[in-house]
Structure 1
Amino acid sequence: MTKVRAALVGEQGTVFAQADDRTDAAAGPERVLDQILHLAEQVLAAPAQLSVMGVGVSTPGPVDTIAGVASDVPTLAGFAGFPLKAELQKRFAYPVSLENDGIAAAIGEWQFGAGRGYDNLIFVTVSTGIGGGIITDGRVLRGRKGMAGHIGHMSIMPNGELCPCGNRGCFEAYGPGTAFALRACTRALSCTETALGRNGVEIHSRDVFAAARKGDAFANKLIEEEAEVLGRGFTSLIHIFSPDIVVMGGGLSHEFDRLYPGIQDYIARWAMPAFNNVQVIRAALGQNSGLVGAAALAFLAEMRPETRPAFSQTSKSRT
């Protein structure tokens, strides 16, 4: 979790104001909550003529959203067992709703973005890690303690690379931008035909795509491999949840056009025939998927698996 972000969002998903700050992740819960409150005060001071209904908060998981208690969040120090919802509620005069960030982003895209009108979709964020959320039969899939959707920690490679969660071979050990950049850095050392990493320069994922656009064969091969990794993970998700669409968000979705052909080709080749025409599409809300989804929680605080959303939806599915 590199940033704390806040937004003032209208009922139609329009973002009227937003602010962000670099997360003081090592300073503990009190400091991070102070950052949240400060940013909320900034956006509430915007000159938009809106009546505040509530505060929706999305957070990295695992988090027990039923009890409102954070679990051992790997990216935030001191949050294990922390009563996050109760502590947030002490700081706000409005009702507070709490959600996992992947599920919140899925809700945002479902209600106001690329998934609008679909009853079945998977949202996958591909950024510094891999997270997601699932909408199935027109309902948000939350699971035990509201912790469903940790799709980055399904295994795609037996005894593979070490994942931040401590397991090996997880989707998150291979698919996110951080893993992609690490592969580039490691392999560029033994490749004399690429400009990447020359003179010890650090390689970021954006550098690989930039080099590929200039015709760097090594960079293009790395991108093809990344698309295959994502395709492999998406195919497993498609088999499990049978969505109408897969929505891809996160930092690497900025290069969706370059990754899409390889992802879709993998699905077409390796998904079972009944599933191989499921399309992957780019998130429509960009970096605001989670912000808008968190706001949707404030509009309908009781959105639970047994409760159909009060948003108007016209169902559609692919044939």
Structure 2
Amino acid sequence: MEHFAIGVDLGGTSVRAALVDERGNILAQDEDETDATGGPERVLSQIFGLARGLIASRPSLAPAGVGVSTPGPVDTITGIASDIPTLSGFAGFPLRAELERQFGLTVSLENDGIAAAIGEWQFGAGKGYDSLVYVTVSTGIGGGIIADGRVVRGRMGMAGHVGHMTITPDGEPCPCGNRGCFEAYASGTAFTRRARQRATERTDTVLGRDGSPINSRAIFRAARDGDTFANQLIDEEAETLGRGITNLIHILSPEIVVMGGGLSNEFDRLHAGIADHIARRAMPAFREVPVVRAALGQNSGLVGAAALALPGRDLAFHPVAKPGVLEF
């Protein structure tokens, strides 16, 4: 008998849901713009509505459970959201209990970076490895860790906040409230902020010319057209990513590092600079650790969340499903 699960990727911009089989294939998928200021009841109704539509599209399939990838901080052990800065009203909210009440199925919560690491480990670029680090580089920087064949969750299930290690003491301010974080220097947001600040001082670049928007797509496009300043910005970004990833390799000794998130769309251009930094700055025993692009793309967390609910994988905190059926 083939097993299926519902995976949910809850984000501040969009909430996505998918029906995923035990090989990691997405059988049906839907999404909605997150009502980020609508409060928990509204967001949960969005999740349930998407799931209901998926089940209606495949009436012959009975999901084994539900896995939810969520931004943090969320105590994924108790299922209580301590705070989700991108979503209003979730501080202290019993997220898992309310989802289980509505679904009538076991619901597993996972930090979004850890869920993406699980997705790549089980079905993507990290399949077959016992130890890996997943780093997502997008609006911010997050991550997840698999060590010796086990998911690293740590206290309250919140391990893997790799974007908030300090790489420059007393450096640029970070959204977390600290200064000098990896995220403050290497996230997509930091990358475009530097470009906007410095482009005003340059006359030899097309970036920002005639009021054109400066974003990551524009920077990489200009670089491909030979813009020297754009290529310099990208080389600096790759160097900074290499610095942070080298730290992670030294601390965690993974077999492989997987990079996801929006900037991974330009992985081919960034990879040489990242690898060069590792080759120069990592200790000799760590220099051969490969850095690769996420194979599942934007679906790493969605598929990883579903994997939590698939029987027989023992990935969730409570992998045994409750009896019951999904009713609508």
Q: TM-score range by the shorter chain?
A: over 0.9
Alignment partners' CA distance in 1, 2:163 and 2:246 = 13
Match of 1:311 in 2: none
Q: Give 2:21's aligned amino acid.
A: G
Within the candidate set 175, 179, 201, 1:168 is matched to 179
Rounded to whole Å, the distance in 2 between the matches of 1:49 and 1:171 is 46
AA at the equivalent of 1:267: I
Structure 1 residue 304: Cα displacement: 5.4
State the Cα distance separating 1:45 from its structure 2 match. Answer: 2.0
Name the aligned partner's letter for residue 253 of structure 2.
S
Q: Which residue of 1 aligns with 2:3?
A: none
Question: Counterparts in 2 of 1:81-92, with a 5 A limit?
Answer: 81-92=92-103
Choose from 68, 71, 90 the match for 2:82.
Answer: 71
Deviation at 1:21, TM superposition (A): 1.3
TM-aligned CA deviation for residue 49 of structure 1: 4.4
Report how far residue 200 of structure 1 moved: 2.7
Q: Are the counterparts in 1 of residues 142 and 162 from structure 2 also a CA contact under 8 Å?
A: yes
Aligned length, in residue pairs: 307
1:206 matched to 2:226? The reply is no
Shift, 1:96, TM fit? 0.8
Q: In structure 1, which of residues 32, 39, 43 is the aligned counterpart of residue 50 of structure 2?
A: 39
Cα distance in 2 for partners of 1:125, 1:43 equals: 27
Structure 1 residue ranges without an equivalent (≥5): 308-319
Residues 138-195 of structure 1: CA deviation (Å, up to 9, x unaligned): 0000001111001111111111111111111111111111111111111111111111
What amino acid does structure 2 have at the position aligned with 1:72? D
Cα deviation per residue 1:118-150 (whole Å; 9 max; x = unaligned)?
000000111111111000000000001111001
SS in 1 for 2:292: strand
> Does residue 226 of structure 1 match 2:248?
no
SS in structure 2 of the partner of residue 192 of structure 1: coil
What SS is found at the alignment partner of 1:27?
Answer: coil
Which of 236, 240, 243 aligns to 2:251? It is 240
Retained in 2: the 8 A contact 1:89–1:96?
yes
Matches within 5 A, 1:216-295: 216-295=227-306
1:306 deviates by 12
Which amino acid letter does the alignment assign opposite residue 315 of structure 2? M
Report what 1:60 is aligned to.
Answer: 71
Deviates more, 1:109-118 or 1:74-83: 74-83
Return 5+ residue gaps in structure 2 as ranges: 1-11, 320-328
2:308, 2:316 within 8 Å by CA — same for their partners in 1?
no
Match of 1:303 among 315, 318, 327: 315
2:114 equivalent in structure 1: 103
Tell me the residue number matched to 1:17: 28
Tell me whether 8-17 or 24-33 shows the greater mean CA deviation.
24-33
Report how far residue 199 of structure 1 moved.
Answer: 2.6
User: Which stretch of the first structure deviates more once superposed, 194-203 or 121-130?
Assistant: 194-203
Letter in 2 for 1:168: R
SS state at 1:73 partner = coil
SS in 1 for 2:284: coil
Picking from 124, 132, 135, the partner of 1:113 is: 124
For 1:86 and 1:111, locate their aligned partners in 2 and report how far apart those are by CA, in whole Å.
26
Post-superposition shift, 1:236? 0.4
Cα shift readout 1:5-31 (whole Å, capped 9, x = no counterpart)? 101100100001111112111222111
2:322 paired residue number: none
CA apart distance, 1:93: 2.2
8 Å CA contact 2:165–2:181 kept in 1: the answer is: yes
For normalisation by structure 2, the TM-score amounts to: 0.91
**In 2: Cα distance, 1:255 partner to 1:49 partner:** 40
Distance (Å, rounded) in 2 between the aligned partners of 1:48 and 1:286: 28
Alignment CA distance shift 1:236-1:305 (3 Å): farther
Contact 1:9 1:17 in 2 (8 A): yes
Task: Give the Cα–Cα distance (whole angstroms) in 1 for the partners of residues 41 and 209 of structure 2.
Answer: 43
Aligned to 2:325: none
Q: Is the Cα contact below 8 Å between 1:10 and 1:50 reproduced in 2? A: no
Q: Is the 8 A contact 2:258 2:291 kept in 1?
A: yes
Aligned partner of 1:90: which letter? R
Counterpart CA distance in 2 for 1:24 and 1:218 is 38
| Distance in 2 between residues matched to 1:102 and 1:250, nearest whole Å | 10
Are residues 1:177 and 2:224 paired?
A: no
- TM-score, normalised via structure 1 length: 0.93
After superposing the two structures, state which structure 1 stretch, 12-21 or 197-206, moved more: 197-206
Whole-angstrom distance in 2 between the partners of 1:290 and 1:84: 18
TM superposition shift of 1:305:
8.3
Cα contact 1:245–1:280 (8 A) shared by 2: yes
Separation in 2, partners of 1:46, 1:129: 34
Q: Percent identity?
A: 69
Deviates most, 104-113 or 71-80: 71-80
Equivalent of residue 142 in structure 2, options 112, 131, 146: 131
